[in-house]
């Protein structure tokens, strides 16, 4: 039995036309999993959640008055930002850490985590997007928030933030331009990651349906405390508001994916 909420919906004005998502908001694992056999220290690392993103999402949702959906389980349990057929949806090793509770794992347990955590989260995302579309009478703008480590394998990452995307650049280009306009930060364009990932959250909810979207990553050391979170919330609030005010970012338009052809019908949660 699941003993924790799978997702949290932050209420906001559905007629605003904007939805915020936080796939990796928390590091929570149900007690029945006995922390997956990991030490407590593992749950303070990026392998368990996106550091700073829960607080940043809450602040932005409050400032903008818009709805947000956040996961309430650790990516170590199952990664909501992966397709159901992606072998990395449940990681056996993450950044050098062996995860005893994930290996070995039975097919029954694998499916249980999909049914209990992954699918309910995506149902919530679908429902909020549908409510915003209905209330606003237009395609929503969906902005997904993540964070990344300041270095990887000992190599520093110079970008303060990054925007990830597949082929739909409608929200991406103005987001990058406005982030860079202040002149005080370096913004990665599909760096340090590539945003084309078949079956991930924005693929299933936006790419296949033609909804404008972008994924914004903020470097974790910049939002690791309350001061950093509020500084970035203050920076992002007017940018997100300007994007949301653009009628071009509220039109349905399907773009081909770099990952290949779409399934015959849109993915369902």
- 45-73: pLDDT as tens digits: 999 999 999 999 999 999 999 999 999 99
Would you say 164 and 207 are in contact if contact means Cβ atoms under 8 Å apart? no
Output the domain CATH number for residue 114: 3.40.630.40
Does the pLDDT of residue 25 top 90, yes or no? yes
The answer for residues whose C-beta is within 8 angstroms of residue 196's C-beta and 6 or more apart is 165, 166, 167, 257, 258, 259
Confidence at residue 269, expressed as pLDDT on a 0 to 100 scale: 53
Does the pLDDT of residue 80 top 70, yes or no? yes
The answer for residues whose C-beta is within 8 angstroms of residue 106's C-beta and 6 or more apart is none
The answer to the question of residue 81 being in a domain is: yes
SS3 content of the chain, % helix, strand, coil (to 5): 40, 15, 45
The answer to the question of residue 2 being in a domain is: no
The answer to the question of residue 69 being in a domain is: yes
Buried b (16+ CB within 10 A) or exposed e, 228-238: bbeebbebbee
Mean pLDDT of 111-137: 99
The answer to the question of residue 58 being in a domain is: yes
Q: What is the count of structural domains for the chain?
A: 1
pLDDT in tens, 215-240: 999 999 999 999 999 999 999 999 99
Residue 97 — pLDDT band, cuts 50, 70, 90? confident
Does the pLDDT of residue 119 top 80, yes or no? yes
The answer to the question of residue 29 being in a domain is: yes
Output the DSSP codes for 188-246: EES-SS----TTSHHIIIIITTT--EEEEEEEGGGSSSHHHHHHHHHHHHHHHHHHHT-
**DSSP letter assigned to residue 89:** G
Does the pLDDT of residue 114 top 60, yes or no? yes
The answer to the question of residue 264 being in a domain is: no
* CA–CA distance, 117 with 120 (Å, rounded to integer): 6
The answer to the question of residue 257 being in a domain is: no
The answer to the question of residue 261 being in a domain is: no
Residue 150 lies in domain: 7-250
Q: Strand runs (DSSP E) across 116-186, as ranges?
A: 141-148, 151-152, 155-156, 161-164
């Amino acid at each position: 039995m699941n003993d924790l909420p799978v997702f949290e919906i932050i209420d906001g004005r559905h007629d605003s036309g904007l939805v915020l998502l936080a796939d990796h908001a928390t590091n929570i694992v149900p007690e029945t999993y006995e922390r997956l056999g990991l030490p407590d220290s593992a749950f303070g690392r990026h392998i368990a959640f996106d550091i700073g993103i829960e607080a940043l999402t809450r602040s932005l949702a409050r400032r903008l008055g818009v709805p947000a959906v956040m996961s309430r389980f650790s990516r170590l349990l199952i990664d909501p930002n992966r397709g159901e057929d992606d072998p990395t949806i449940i990681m056996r090793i993450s950044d050098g850490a062996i995860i005893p509770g994930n290996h070995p794992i039975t097919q029954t347990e694998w499916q249980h985590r999909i049914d209990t955590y992954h699918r309910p989260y995506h149902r919530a995302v679908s429902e909020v997007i549908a409510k915003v579309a209905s209330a606003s009478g237009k395609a929503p703008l969906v902005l997904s928030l993540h964070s990344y480590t300041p270095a990887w394998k000992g190599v520093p990452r110079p970008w303060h933030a990054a925007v990830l995307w597949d082929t739909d650049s409608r929200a991406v280009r103005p987001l990058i331009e406005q982030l860079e306009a202040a002149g005080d930060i370096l913004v990665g364009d599909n760096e340090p990651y590539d945003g084309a990932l078949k079956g991930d959250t924005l693929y299933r909810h936006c790419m296949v349906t033609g909804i404008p979207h972008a994924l914004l990553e903020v470097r974790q050391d910049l939002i690791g405390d309350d001061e950093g979170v509020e500084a970035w919330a203050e920076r992002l609030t007017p940018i997100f508001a300007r994007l949301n005010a653009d009628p071009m970012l509220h039109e349905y338009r399907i773009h081909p994916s770099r990952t290949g052809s779409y399934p015959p019908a849109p993915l369902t949660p």
